[in-house]
Structure 1
Amino acid sequence: MEDMDLEKTGSNAFIEQNKKCDYELSWRDSLKQTLAACIAHSLVIQVGINMSFSAVLLPQLRETDSNINIDLSQASWIASIVTAALPFGSLTIGPLMDRFGRKKMCLLTTLPFLISWTLHNFATNVWYIYIARIVAGFGAGLSTVAIVYVSEISHPKYRPMLLTFNSVFVTLGILITCLLGFRLHWRLMVKIFFGMVCITMASLFFIPESPYWLIVFRNDITESRKSMRWIYTDNKVFEEQVQRVLRSPRSQTEPKNETSRLLQLKENLKLYKGPTVWKPMIILLVTFLFQQLSAAYVVIFYAVDIFRKIGGSFKHIGLIDAFVALILLGTIRFVMSIVLSMISKKIGRRILMFVSAVGMVVSSFSVGLHMNFSSSSNASSPMEFSNRTFTEQLPNVSDNTGTIAVILVLTYICFSSFGWLVIPWTLIGELLPVKVRGTLGGVMVSVAYLLMFFMVKIAPFLMEAVSLGSIFIGLSVINVFGIIFLYFFLPETLGKTFEDIAKYFE
């Protein structure tokens, strides 16, 4: 990793270049790339929907008048199988997007979602739902292409903001599912989701192909300029961005014999051994490890059970039920994602991640300390995962004690949504070089979701063996190590071009 002196050496050049870009690029010039980013990110609305759909689906399937009856084991598979299937899609999409293009693969990603909702709609037994959820998970993995596409059509000034839209649209999908789940039957919701995918598919036809892909993988200057012209209407900005794209390293033509194929393989291996690839790859792997070890996703998955365990004055006004708890957390994530996208154009990644990590340390330690030392708290008893309704008597926790703990848990989710739950995904589109972004991006997403699957699976057993307060204190220690890692290894990417970031790792 480069030291601080090297970073300072190039800082003046970065500042001068970005001043010029800021002066030339007006908000009007950013409208088309913002529109294209929103259309591409609309794919991940389906990811949020599929993450939260089981919360609506399972209670309705358990009803006595349901024509599909499920037991506890089947319910757990319906909930988790999406996450298990997702890595297969993210690993598949990398080579495909490099070969056929970012836009075509965005269109392809809509097909699994359409198939999934069709299977849901005509489901007559649980096996239909299993297959539908597997297909949906595969499609969610394919949606990695949206991050890559947005990173390559975005101006350096707007790229941080547009990449954070990914989290905004995921949380929007969660909110839509929870809101519709209040009143609608799951089969009617399936039809609505099918229509949403159709709208996304139709919209994707109107956005341009990635100019970087056209240059790097097709060496097609004419089509690349056409894409850039669609994105930028101002001539000065257009020419500046065209020259920047033309400086990208380009792939060699297709080898015609075995010798040339071997040479190309050696070149590819040499590329992966370069510091511009392996350094950001390691940074991303460790960042995703700390993201999942922070258990922010676990808190979201088991929010209702955690709130039931904590108790508090919320129980007396009937607010803690499955749907409201999900909406509450989904709203926090959605609002914080919007705030993050608005300020990320001005505030660097490092600062945002530090604020997020420090807030998580303080809030997790506070909730752990509070639960362990509250005189009337039963937080050290085993976590109960039963089929009791949320209106039944909760553990003997004083109103004030439980309310404070609930607020601190929500604060933990708030701070995690401000950085750790969002920025690592966007770094895939910034740190990795264009030539390996498709393939390695899929690998990074697969690793992240495998870690998530592991954490979500072991969480109930861990919460039965260890008190909830001790778990949160342990999370604060993990987050401290995350801060140390951020300080020494995470580079700043705000306003830097892909060439600038590559030079930093060189």
Structure 2
Amino acid sequence: MEFDGNIADDEKNPSNIDSPFVISTERKEVPLKWKDSYKQILAGCTANTIVIQAGINMAFSAVLLPQLNETGSEMTVTKSEASWIASLVTIVLPIGALIVGPIMDRYGRKKVCLLTNIPIIIAWTLVYYANNVWYLYIARSINGFAGGLSTVSLVYVSEISHPKLRSMLLSLNSVFVTFGILLTCLLGLWFTWRTMSFIFIIMTVFCSIAIWFIPESPYWLIVFKDDYRATTKSLSWIYGKNNLLHEHEFRRILESKQQKPREKDDERSTLLKIKDDFKLYKSPTVYKPVIIMIAIFMFQQFSGAYAIIFYAVDIFRTIGGRFKRGLDEYVALALLGIIRFVIAIVSAMISKKVGRRPLMFVSALGMCITSVMAGLYMYLDIVPDDVYEKMNITKDISKNNVALYCILGYVCFSSLGYLVIPWTLIGELLPVKVRGKLSGVLISVVYVLMFLVVKMFPFIMDLISLQYLFYLMAVINLIGFGFLYIFLPETLGKSFLDIEKYFLHK
């Protein structure tokens, strides 16, 4: 892609920009070496530490509730109270996701990353001192709100990473979420829920200290603050002493800046602002990626990839399989968590080489095949009918684990693409000028869909047999594959301007 040179007068003259390098008029691709990339990897991992809490929130109730119901527990809860403790995180999360956009656009990505840790610390402090269920209600609500705020990490990572590293660094978001799940499960083996909450407080404090030392997003500094000095300072931190990369990335940012109107907000009426915002959202560079991403998230949620994880124990009991003596459904559940974590890392590493589309294709087709195999296995009555009716194994079926393997394969393929890549596309497909606001809206939509699917899944299992539910999932995944093949663009190595031009001309 060639730069057209259409920049403002103050940008054409390097002397008018407080920058340590000269902005040339020739655009050449600059090779990215390890010594030029390790700092942005460090910054991306540091910002992603706030999403560890999202994984902790998912798994903590699985540790908390059984301990509360143990004999001699200092606090007990009813079944209704336990359901509220588990679900409040999901209900409140969209509130944080909706308000984080305007906040991060106004105060900056880094500052909001730091701000997110404040309610997290408050929430775990309430859990540590909890002596009745209302402490837990309030704490879980605050943690859910903070989980919505953690959307800022996706935006920050997308804006500090080089196009060749962006896909890998954004994929780390899901890696850190799954790490939070694993961490909670491991701590739950040795510590009480109160001790765990104290550990999470200390961990959050250290994460906040680390975030303090990373730079602000250069895109935010130039697009929202017009601060050239701070932008070049941020790029100097990210790319070290490589002035060629400084210049190259500075020009990318200037190109994004041209997409943002230059006017003083205080001199324009509210009606004109609304009119301009309406025109902005009517742009193909905005509404096309939004529609595509909503559709992808619908396929993600309706595929049942998350619901299977939520109800894995019930599903394992229904199919009745066993790996070997001593390995029950709870160990299989832990194995699902390990698979998610390992495959998320694999997806993050190989996405740098193969791109988004191939991973999503393999994920969709793999989920389709494994769900069909699970349904056919049940149809052929390899597992007897009385297992489904009575959930009681009447004979040795230690070798009949096909359905169980298919479910593990389903989770494996979903973790390769469907559970990882859609979240990272938020930081890639949305234009810089609306990324802050719309990322929160999209996250809210996704969690509403997740709540509906997870809530309805047990009733659907009662309404139709598990066999036909797997067939339905296979059909949804096949349709999703067709949609991805037609509409999902490849973002590997593309600048934000390249992606915007794709939607403008496609």
Q: What is the TM-score with the length of structure 1 in the denominator?
A: 0.91
Q: Is the 8 A contact 2:373 2:406 kept in 1?
A: yes
User: 3-state DSSP class of the match of 2:385?
Assistant: coil
1:255 aligns with 2:281: no
1:275 aligns with 2:284: yes
How do 1:19-418 and structure 2 match up within 5 A?
21=29, 24-233=31-240, 234-248=242-256, 249-257=259-267, 259-314=268-323, 317-322=325-330, 324-378=331-385, 381=388, 394-396=392-394, 399-400=397-398, 402-418=400-416
Aligned residues with identical type, % of pairs: 56
Shift of 1:463: 1.1
* Gap regions ≥5 residues in structure 2: 5-26
Q: Is the 8 A contact 1:312 1:400 kept in 2?
A: yes
Distance 1:397 1:130, change over 3 A: farther
Matched residue, 1:466 = 464
Two-structure CA RMSD over aligned residues (Å)? 1.9
Q: Distance in 2 between matches of 1:165 and 1:379?
A: 44
Matched residue, 2:441 = 443
Shift of 1:469: 1.2
User: 3-state DSSP class of the match of 1:492?
Assistant: coil
Q: Is the 8 A contact 1:276 1:505 kept in 2?
A: yes
What do residues 29-61 of structure 1 show as CA deviations (whole Å, max 9, x unaligned)?
Answer: 001100000000011111101111111011001
What residue identity is the alignment partner of 2:249? Q
Q: Distance in 2 between matches of 1:501 and 1:347?
A: 17
What residue identity is the alignment partner of 2:245? V
Q: Distance in 1 between matches of 2:309 and 2:343?
A: 15
Q: Distance in 2 between matches of 1:43 and 1:110?
A: 7
Q: Distance in 2 between matches of 1:367 and 1:402?
A: 12
Shift of 1:70: 1.1
Q: Is the 8 A contact 1:178 1:326 kept in 2?
A: no
What do residues 117-138 of structure 1 show as CA deviations (whole Å, max 9, x unaligned)?
Answer: 0111011111111111111111
What do residues 439-489 of structure 1 show as CA deviations (whole Å, max 9, x unaligned)?
Answer: 000011111111001111111111122111111111001101101101111
Q: Is the 8 A contact 1:90 1:445 kept in 2?
A: yes
Shift of 1:82: 0.8
What residue identity is the alignment partner of 1:492? E
1:457 to 440, 455, 474: 455
Q: Is the 8 A contact 2:52 2:176 kept in 1?
A: yes
What do residues 367-409 of structure 1 show as CA deviations (whole Å, max 9, x unaligned)?
Answer: 011112224423884698xxxxxxxxx4447525642211110
Q: Distance in 1 between matches of 2:307 and 2:160?
A: 33
1:433 to 431, 434, 444: 431
Distance 1:282 1:225, change over 3 A: same
Q: Distance in 2 between matches of 1:28 and 1:219?
A: 29
Shift of 1:264: 2.7
Structure 1 range deviating more: 83-92 or 459-468:
459-468
Aligned residues: 478
Distance 1:55 1:397, change over 3 A: farther
What do residues 88-113 of structure 1 show as CA deviations (whole Å, max 9, x unaligned)?
Answer: 11001011001111011001110111
Q: Distance in 1 between matches of 2:137 and 2:325?
A: 37
Q: Distance in 2 between matches of 1:302 and 1:397?
A: 25
Q: Distance in 2 between matches of 1:202 and 1:130?
A: 28
Q: Distance in 2 between matches of 1:242 and 1:129?
A: 47
Distance 1:207 1:88, change over 3 A: same
Shift of 1:239: 1.0
Shift of 1:288: 0.3
1:480 aligns with 2:478: yes
Matched residue, 2:19 = none
Q: Distance in 2 between matches of 1:150 and 1:471?
A: 37
Q: What is the TM-score with the length of structure 2 in the denominator?
A: 0.91
Q: Distance in 1 between matches of 2:307 and 2:399?
A: 22
What residue identity is the alignment partner of 2:278? L
Q: Distance in 2 between matches of 1:279 and 1:119?
A: 43
Shift of 1:263: 2.3
